[in-house]
């Protein structure tokens, strides 16, 4: 059995102008697909081919960096596609209360989330996560993931240059602002918080 490239949960124009169809054609159709294909090639014929993606990530962590990178990036990108929506809405209920309690306000969260993404050195991911009922902003470098971390990730943004260079060139702040201001999928974050366990591929 091999893993499928998870489809985009919206039309390829849904995230414009923050993330264009042109970017998605490369980011989903080339980059994400390559991670899936390389992972599948690495696990083909092994016991890992029968495991869940989360189990593959955990098994490869610390023991097989090449497989880990491709498996973690397969997971991270699927989670990232779901972390955005055409009309992201706003946090409500328990999630809104926790945002206010942790960051002071939604605007303060947005500013801190953007700042962490802007300040993240080189390639990686910035996350809104939950652990033991507490929210926090986390960062992972390169292909590293929260999939097997003990955190319950609620949202993520890819800050690799391939996520924004075609649309915003080197202006990572403009990309982050555009995503954070209108395209964060707060309904997805609320589902993840309510479930209380890590999203599965
Ligand atoms: Mn990416």
Ramachandran assignment for 192, one of left (phi > 0), alpha (psi -120 to 50 degrees), beta (any other): alpha
- Over pLDDT 90: what percentage of the chain? 99
User: Separation of 25 CA from ligand 1 center, angstroms?
Assistant: 12
Q: Tell me how far the alpha carbon of residue 201 lies from the centroid of ligand 1, in angstroms.
A: 16
Map residue 9 onto helix, strand or coil: coil
Contacts of 48 (CB under 8 A, 6+ apart): 55, 56, 59, 60, 67
Strand ranges inside the chain, DSSP E: 124-131, 134-141, 152-158
Pairwise CA distance, residues 157 & 81, whole Å? 9
- The Å distance, Cα 104 to ligand 1 centre, comes to 30
CA atoms in the 13 A half-sphere facing the CB of 60: 28
* 8 A C-beta contact, residue 163 and residue 23: yes
pLDDT tens readout for residues 61-102? 999 999 999 999 999 999 999 999 999 999 999 999 999 999
Q: Taking the model in full, what pTM does it have? A: 0.97
Percent of the chain with pLDDT over 70: 100
- The domains found in the chain, sorted by start residue, are 19-201 (3.55.40.20)
| Model pLDDT, residue 151 | 97
Residue 47 Cα, ligand 1 centroid: separation in angstroms? 27
Asked if omega into 56 is within 30° of 0 (cis), the reply is no
């Amino acid at each position: 059995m091999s893993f499928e490239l998870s489809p985009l949960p919206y039309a390829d124009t849904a995230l414009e102008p923050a993330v264009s169809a042109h970017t998605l054609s490369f980011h989903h159709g080339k980059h994400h697909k390559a991670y899936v294909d390389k992972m599948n090639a690495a696990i083909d014929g092994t016991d890992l081919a029968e495991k869940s993606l989360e189990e593959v990530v955990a098994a490869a962590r610390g023991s097989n960096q090449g497989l880990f990178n491709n498996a973690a990036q397969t997971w991270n990108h699927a989670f990232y596609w779901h972390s955005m929506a055409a009309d992201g809405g706003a946090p409500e209920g328990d999630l809104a209360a926790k945002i206010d309690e942790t960051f002071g306000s939604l605007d303060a969260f947005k500013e801190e989330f953007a700042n962490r993404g802007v300040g993240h050195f080189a390639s990686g991911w910035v996350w809104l996560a939950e652990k033991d009922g507490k929210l926090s902003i986390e960062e992972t470098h390169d292909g590293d993931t929260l999939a097997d971390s003990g955190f319950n990730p609620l949202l993520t943004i890819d800050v690799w240059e391939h996520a924004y260079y075609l649309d915003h060139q080197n202006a990572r702040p403009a990309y982050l602002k555009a995503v954070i201001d209108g395209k964060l999928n707060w309904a997805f974050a609320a589902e993840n918080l309510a479930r209380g366990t890590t999203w599965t591929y």
